[in-house]
Amino acid sequence: MTLFQAAILGIVQGLTEFLPVSSSGHLILVPALLGWPNASSLAFDAAVNAGTVAAVLVALREDIVKILRGAFRKSPDAWGKLGWSIVLATIPAGLAAVLFRDALEAHARTPEIVAISLAVWGVLLFIADRFGKNVHSDATKVGWKRVLALGCAQALALVPGTSRSGVTITTARFLGIDRATAARVSFLVGLPILVLASLSGIHDVAAHGADVSVAAMLVGILTSFAAGVFAIRFLLKLFQGKTTYAGFAVYRVAVAALVWFLLVR
């Protein structure tokens, strides 16, 4: 992997991990379009995962500090209760990863599955955003049941092309959470899973050795971090107004068609 490839793939990972458009779909499509058949790397995946974890920690640091402070009080406040709800919501996705991740990685990481998942969840995102109500606009008042529902939905992101942020934002909109809060809660709910994925990747690299240069990993970390911070802040600012998720839904369907046309037919 060249440093240029590392930079491009790091940017793609950082952007698409948080925009509801599927990082796995783009990490299959972009190398195919650019003619990089051997761009995948275990060590590089671990590096860009670490970069996206750092992006959430920086972009949402104020929320994270409030959650940590509130969670460990003798009587948890609203932020602390949100934090414990997120811990509870991590369990379904964690169990799904333990039980099904290897099988899905081996058998579901195909252009057909990616294209179908992109299209189906694009349509569902459009429907959820079009008909979902804006009842809940405070992340601390969403409630543990809704946060748990987002955690259960997050487990579906193991299927390539689904998108962790896409499936949680879609579920949040179906549950009446407004657009900006849906994005914020999605990022917070996804943070523990990103941390676990990063630790798992580091463990795998330690066990099997790095299959890419240290320089490429550093470039991947830096570019995925910078792109991730941009994507998070962009979404949170974008949905403060009347912008909808319709553009992202249409984009997903368009990318699905492109994946199908280039890699399936």
Q: What is the pLDDT of residue 250?
A: 94
> DSSP letters of 32-89?
HHHT-TT---HHHHHHHHHHHHHHHHHHTHHHHHHHHHHHTSSS--HHHHHHHHHHHH
Q: What is the pLDDT of residue 38?
A: 64
Which residues lie below 8 Å from residue 48, measured CB to CB, with a gap of 6+?
9, 10, 13, 14, 220, 221, 224
Output the CA–CA distances (angstroms, integers) from residue 185 to 34, 89, 139, in the order listed. Answer: 34, 11, 6
Q: What is the pLDDT of residue 243?
A: 86
Instruction: Give me the domain span that covers residue 127.
Output: 3-264
- Residue 55 pLDDT exceeds 80: yes
Q: What is the pLDDT of residue 152?
A: 92
Q: What is the pLDDT of residue 135?
A: 85
b/e per residue 184-215 (b: at least 16 CB within 10 A): bbbbbbbbbbbbbbbeebeeebeeeebebbee
pLDDT confidence bin for 39, thresholds 50/70/90: low
Q: How many domains does the chain have?
A: 1
Q: Once rounded to an integer, what is the mean pLDDT over residues 165-180? A: 93
Residues 173 and 129 sit within 8 Å (Cβ to Cβ)? yes
pLDDT confidence bin for 41, thresholds 50/70/90: low
